[in-house]
Chains A and B, each alone.
Chain A
Amino acid sequence: MSGDVAVLGAGMHPWGKWGRSFVEYGTAAARAALADAGVGWRDVDAVVGADTVRGGYPGYVAGATFARALGWQGARVSSVYAACASGAQAIATARAQILAGLADVVLVVGADAAPKGFFAPAGGDRPDDPDWLRFRLLGATNPAYFALYARRRMAVYGDTPEDFALVKVKNAAAGALNPHARYRTPVTPDEVAASPVVADPLRLLDICATSDGGAALVLSSMAYARVHGVGEPVRVRAVSTVTPTYPRAVLDLPDIATDSAAGAAPAPPFREAIATAAYEEAGIGPGDLSLAEVYDLSTALELEWYEDLGLCGRGEAAKLLREGATALGGRVPVNASGGLASFGEAVPAQAIAQVCELTWQLRGTAGPRQVPGARAGITANQGLFGHGSAVVAVR
């Protein structure tokens, strides 16, 4: 298919709280991806970085920072910011350059050294920034929004805190099998129930931590992959980077209110639109998936994604979970990597890390967490301020 690009290499720096610079994590991930691809750094035509804030410097940096760390070699460079969707937009930028014939081989890198505790907006008095406003006026943290969705699910669909805990149990079991994950111990339902409430009804173990981490991919044209001796590479078949459609009728981070839907034609929910765009571009549907990697910022949010991805109907996610369909060994494992529950958030890296996991799964090299015979996978995530993204990879 002419729209495909090849994934030649995938690499990560293990996630955790390492206390070092994001440049180290990203450079280590990049070297691992290049080694995995068997591509020399000097053969890379372009570098795309997913941005992070450099401490003390009021700017977003990434692409050139990694290029400098690897040794200036003159490559084309870009840096992209899209909050949690930064990594997917970096992949989209790389893919566009390859498909446009501007580059044969592109290195995509994302890494971060995350602060401890709640994410917070940048300092200063900035009442024009909706992110600043929701903290200033309401103290509405990210977990507060996750909790609003969780409580809504309980009221509308009858989900229970025990259902939410099962998501954590499932993802921790998978993460225990992943050497790149930060948390590698299984978790029991009792442990989730015993953890303190952060934002009712969600507990500490329902919410993903912040982490340091890095992830990288080497992407190339299909022609380059063939010449390079890789006849059947994992392929990126679709990258969705959509915005919401007005009226956005579901309260979303970081907004204080939804759009008014009075007198306006209803729009599809944003998360569902992210997946739909990816399926349309890839020419596949939910029934074709072998696995999915989704943003489990909270356990309840993972259930939301099952429905948004079309793995089940509205309100049926908890049932799908309880049946074991989304666990390793189930019909369509979700977060076989262990998900953010096991990794934590390293914002610019996590959408790239999701595609690393698809790559290893589609190659059949995911070890004890391997989804047997994986042929197609989707990633899904959402970035603050209206960034949506999903990547479809196939073999």
Chain B
Amino acid sequence: MTRARTPAVAGWFTDAPGGFRLLGTRCSACSAVFFPPEGAFCRNPDCAGGGELLEVPLSGRGRVWSYTDGRYRPPAPYVSDPSVPWEPYTLVAVELAAEAMVVLGQAAPGVGVADLAVGMEVELVPGVLHEDADTTWTTWHWRPVTS
């Protein structure tokens, strides 16, 4: 059976040609960039206003600001099967230079805290958050740059 691949959250990332990228919005009046995408209003208090919030892909690479893991099963709404032994996931906070912004994400499967260091270069890759009967819920992952 083939499950439909559906983003776990709509409009936050794209797998369009050019690569897998997080999607922010950029205010046309003041150039401020927001992630998660801000659709309703510019949050820059010094913005003159009147701008449009336009979709913009974020940098696909950045440097590790910090990282950790989750040794205990998190509560709902995180989806995990309580009948399966808990496998810790790794969280990485990544600093994007161009946007001067830190974005949190899970690390790609198999990447543990021992594989990471603050300042290390990582790249954005597509990932799977979880699967149910009909759907593969997709997300973004960070992975150390190997080349």
Contacts and interface: CB of A to CB of B under 8 A. Distances in A.
Interface of A is mostly: loop
B66 A138 contact: no
A137 B139 contact: yes
B91 A256 contact: no
A263 to B, nearest CB: 6
Contacts of B65: 148, 152, 251
Contacts of A198: 71-72
Contacts of A197: 71
B20 interface: no
B93 A251 contact: yes
A100 interface: no
Given A133-B9, A262-B100, A139 B74 contact: yes
A251 to B, nearest CB: 5
Given A133-B9, A199-B68, A246-B44, A257 B103 contact: yes
A238 B67 CA distance: 36
B31 interface: yes
Contacts of B85: none
Contact of B70 (A196, A199, A262, A264): A199
A140 interface: yes
B133 interface: no
Contacts of A123: 76-77
Nearest to B90: A200
A327 B42 CA distance: 45
Contacts of B44: 246-247, 264
A234 to B, nearest CB: 37
Contacts of A118: 72, 74-75
B72 A152 contact: no
A255 B89 CA distance: 18
A118 B74 CA distance: 7
Q: Give the most central of B65, B80, B89: most A CB within 10 Å.
A: B65
Interface of B: 8-9, 24, 31-36, 43-46, 65-72, 74-80, 89, 91, 93, 98-106, 113, 117-119, 129, 139
